[in-house]
Structure 1
Amino acid sequence: MRVPQIERDLGIEILATRTPGFGGSIKQTPEDFIVQEILVDGSKAEIQPKQHVSVPLQGKGRYLICLLVKRNMDTLLTVRKIAKQLGISERRVQIAGIKDKNAVTAQHVSIENIKLAKLERLRGEGFQVHPLRYSPNMVFPHMSFGNIFIITIRDIDSSYMSLQTRVSKIAHELHVLKGVPNFFGHQRFGTIRPITHLVGRAIAKNNMKEAALLYLAKQSSHEHPQSREVRQQLRETLDFKDALRTFPRRLLYERLMLSHLAKNPKDYTGAFKRLPQRLSRLFLQAYQSYLFNKMLSQRVTQKISLTEPQVGDYVIRTDRYGLPTRSHLKATHGNLKDLRKAVKENKLCLAIPLIGFRQTTSDGHQGEIEQIILEEERIAPTDFRVSINPKMGAGGGLRAALTPIIDLETKKATNDNLNVGKKSLTISFTLHRGCYATVVLREFLKPDNLIESGF
């Protein structure tokens, strides 16, 4: 089945299911895409909290744990706004993960050494912060179990019977597969302008000028016409002072880099240092994600199992919650039988490397796949150590090749109240942290044009 070129450009070259999709569109309104974070202790961040928290707050510690609910807001920009309004460093505002922008999302956030009275004066268009409790520990990524997704798919041109048949068949195929290939979704690379992996590739090759110009000046046919125009002008003139004047205010991160380059036109490394550390690290991580997607695609294309380890494969241990850990083994002729048994018992899961300066390739057949891709890219694991800006480096690691889809449910299709003559369908499921809802949704919709379909 044909995969759109935009996905192939991100390393996603296959579909896991064969049943034709039913089309449609997601995210026509932010309320069509609801994300609610779950912590490993069972705490759930809800869009509409069921009850008000009593004052004084329970717990002790220097971290105030809050519920952050945002609508159509970028996560990192929201954190930035919270810190600015409170007059504190962004480092004192910590989250477990980045959530979708064009959505309504609820997640936990910790704010260090802040008085409750000061928080109560916090006001922001598009987001709300509700205090929950005090804690001696800040929020960090490994506190998260995952996310509950409640998604309304609209503009479906199908009969009720055909729609229900396709939904059932695709869900059955995914059940037989025991999940979905754990690709990094296109949000990892930029929703409208998927270029972060290209910037990361240039950084890995120590070409900071190319990296900066890709980020600042590479156009996308899907972005605002004004943005395309100013990027093209910068590409042609390399006039950073003029670009700082003409780039619209909404391109906040680009303007941060331009403000440096306007004064230091050859200091491209310094320009990247103006970005928030969370963002600057995303570039090499996005390139790792692109390589992972290609390696996973090739494994599936070559019909190598995602649930049965082969000699040379990495496997990682799972914790009591079923989440992958950092503890890993490599399959050999001597331990292969035991590892396959442990995978069936959900004690281990098959993994593919996120190539970095601490993480090398697999062995065996999977290792051959990975080596070919690295040779085609002309890249080596050591290239992910950025000597001129070590904070941007990426050590790498391992990522599960397959992720389970927990509590997959669909509601009965109805007439779409936003698109006359079309159907809408609500689907819900839970995914482990770091996994992408759009990777599941693409199996159901199988869109020809991801951007037009709301992805």
Structure 2
Amino acid sequence: TLTNWETNKFCNNLAKRLGISRNRIFFAGTKDKRAVTQQIFIIDATQHKIAQIDMPDVEIEILGRTHQKIGFGNHRGNRFTIVVRGCCHSDGTPMTEEEALAEAELIRSELCQSLGEGVFPNWIGPQRFGSGRPVTAEVGKHVLTGDFQQAVHTYLAMEGINENTEVAKFRKHVRDNGVTADALELAPSWLGFESRMIEHLLNNHDDFVGAFKKLPNNLQLMTIHAAQSIIFNQSLNRRLASGLPISEPIEGDLVGRIDEKGQLNANTCVMAESRNLPRITRNCQLGRLVTTGPLPGSEIYVAGGKSRDIELSAINDSGLAEIDWSVEEIPRLSSKGTRRALVSNFSDLYIDTVPIALSESLGERWNMGPSENSRWHP
């Protein structure tokens, strides 16, 4: 159980304390930093050493031994408790508890009417891209085009939203001056990945591939996944904007089977055609099949009909239509591509009020108040 820990930084700290490589720690999903999270890790170390670990805001329970590893593909689902504070109307005036509950119920009711009970659009969330600094997909695009210099520079220097003053000063220095010894001095201690990149470049001039590889393996892979995810989200957004259904198929859709664990089997997708559309629609309604969208790669296959036009437009507008999705410099980052369900299911959704928290317990961001283009009221 982690309290306010970013998953990769926790793994780096844990590996250092255990005296093992960061690559000997495995997990299925990267969790939000500002949260209390609980998940399974597989650690290639002795139980005795793990049991002795004492880290702030970390509780470790040893479940047993295994020879299995886990990764992104093993993630089955999440259970959340989400607290929403600062609810307000579109004009910025605060809502009462009753108004907030009514608004939440209205959203739920409209979602049910448009998609069906217990179904929501399967967006890939902002944490995949970097919620405060959406840098991950931008880095991935440069990696896929073979421009590691720009990938590293983007990771180091891209400006974030409401960044700490020290961080903003560091990133501006890199934007203005490039990688220098002064940049290393300016980097705050918590920007460990950035510091390791700069140290590598100062000692290995122009080795931008090596600098990029200072990121953890899972974060390197996430840059590619983020580039794919932009295209999926754009496809889903354009389909919704066009008024086409997403929980039921239309002719040309690629539809996949849902396995006994509720996961899409993307390898067995079939195309919906006039002859099989009624049967496929019925199975989608029963939760046996699901409509899909593209996570493109070297073996990409897109839908037909109107869905094909939407998917190809999203790929073309991403600027990645001409790449082959292979990364020669780091072959393990190459992607064949796959399909992702356009909708997902939820259950056991309960909405209720919570006690009002004291402002001093909510942190600096809350006390700063709403920023431009944000909608909440303290």
Taking a change above 3 Å as real, the CA distance of residues 354 and 381 of structure 1, as seen in their structure-2 partners, is farther
Give the conservation status (yes or no) of the 8 Å contact 1:360–1:381. no
Comparing both structures, which one devotes a greater share of its residues to helix?
2
- Aligned pair partner of 1:154 in 85, 90, 103: 85
Superposition deviation, residue 94 in structure 1: 1.4
User: Could you say what secondary structure the match of 1:78 adopts?
Assistant: helix
TM-score of the pair, normalised by structure 2: 0.88
2:140 aligned with 1:166, yes or no? no
Give the residue type in structure 1 aligned to 2:289.
L
1:87 aligns with 2:16: no
State how 1:87-166 maps to structure 2 within 5 Å.
87-112=19-44, 114-156=45-87, 157-166=94-103
Write the mapping of 1:12-411 to structure 2, written as runs, cut at 5 A: 69-112=1-44, 114-156=45-87, 157-176=94-113, 177-178=115-116, 179-326=119-266, 327-380=268-321, 382-411=323-352
Letter of the 1:295 counterpart:
S
Q: Deviations over 1:387-406 (max 9, x none)?
A: 22222323221111011121
Q: What SS is found at the alignment partner of 2:233?
A: helix
Q: Distance in 2 between matches of 1:234 and 1:241?
A: 10
Cα displacement (A) at 1:221 = 3.7
CA pair 380-134 structure 1, distance change in 2 beyond 3 A = same
Counterparts of 1:142 and 1:376, CA distance in 2: 27
Q: Which amino acid aligns with 1:352?
A: G
Give the letter aligned to residue 315 of structure 1: V
Instruction: Measure the CA separation in 2 of the matches of 1:401 and 1:226.
Output: 40
The whole-number CA distance in structure 2 between the counterparts of 1:297 and 1:188 is 17
Partner of 1:21: none
Q: 1:401 to 1:268 in 2, by over 3 A?
A: same
CA–CA separation in structure 2 for the residues paired with 1:110 and 1:124:
17
1:128 partner amino acid = E
Query: How much does 1:138 deviate?
Result: 3.4
Q: Deviations over 1:43-98 (max 9, x none)?
A: xxxxxxxxxxxxxxxxxxxxxxxxxx101101111122222212222233211211
Contact 1:361 1:371 in 2 (8 A): yes
Q: Give SS of 2:32's match.
A: coil
Q: Aligned with 1:191: secondary structure?
A: coil
Residue 365 of structure 2 corresponds to which residue in structure 1? none
Work out the CA distance in 1 between the residues paired with 2:86 and 2:65: 44
**Structure 2 CA distance, aligned partners of 1:453 and 1:148?**
27
Partner of 1:316, secondary structure, is strand
Q: Offset at 1:365?
A: 0.8
Deviations 1:96-155 (A, max 9, x none): 21111110000111223x333222211112212111222343344454431110111123
- Structure with more of its chain in strand, by fraction: 1
Q: Which amino acid aligns with 1:360?
A: Y
Rate the CA distance shift 1:377–1:152 in 2: closer, same or farther, 3 A.
closer
CA RMSD across the alignment = 2.2
Aligned equivalent of 1:27: none
Q: Go from structure 1 to structure 2 and tell me whether the alpha carbon gap of 1:419 and 1:154 turns closer, same or farther (over 3 Å shift).
A: farther
Q: Residues 189 and 286 of structure 1 are in contact (CA less than 8 Å); yes or no, is this contact kept in structure 2?
A: yes
Change (3 A) 1:278 1:140: closer
AA of the residue aligned to 1:331: A
For this pair of structures, how many residues does the alignment match?
A: 357
Shift of 1:242: 2.5
* Higher normalized contact order (CA 8 Å, seq sep 6+, divided by chain length): 1
In structure 2, do the counterparts of structure 1 residues 409 and 448 end up closer, same or farther at CA, with 3 Å as the change threshold? farther
**Please, which moves more after superposition, 228-237 or 326-335?**
326-335
How big is each residue's C-alpha offset from its partner over 1:280-322, in whole Å with a ceiling of 9 and x where there is no partner? 1111211111111111100000011112212221111101132
> Can you give the 5+ residue segments of structure 2 that lack an aligned partner in the other structure?
88-93, 361-371
Contact persistence 2:293–2:311 (CA under 8 A): no
What does the per-residue CA deviation read over 1:362-395, in whole Å, with 9 as the maximum and x for residues that have no partner? 2211111122222233322743211222223232
Quote the offset at 1:279 in angstroms: 0.9
SS for the counterpart of 1:317 is strand
Partner of 1:31: none
Aligned partners of 2:319 and 2:292: how far apart in 1? 23
* Partners of 1:126 and 1:245 in 2: CA distance: 28
Specify the alignment match of 1:11 in structure 2.
Answer: none
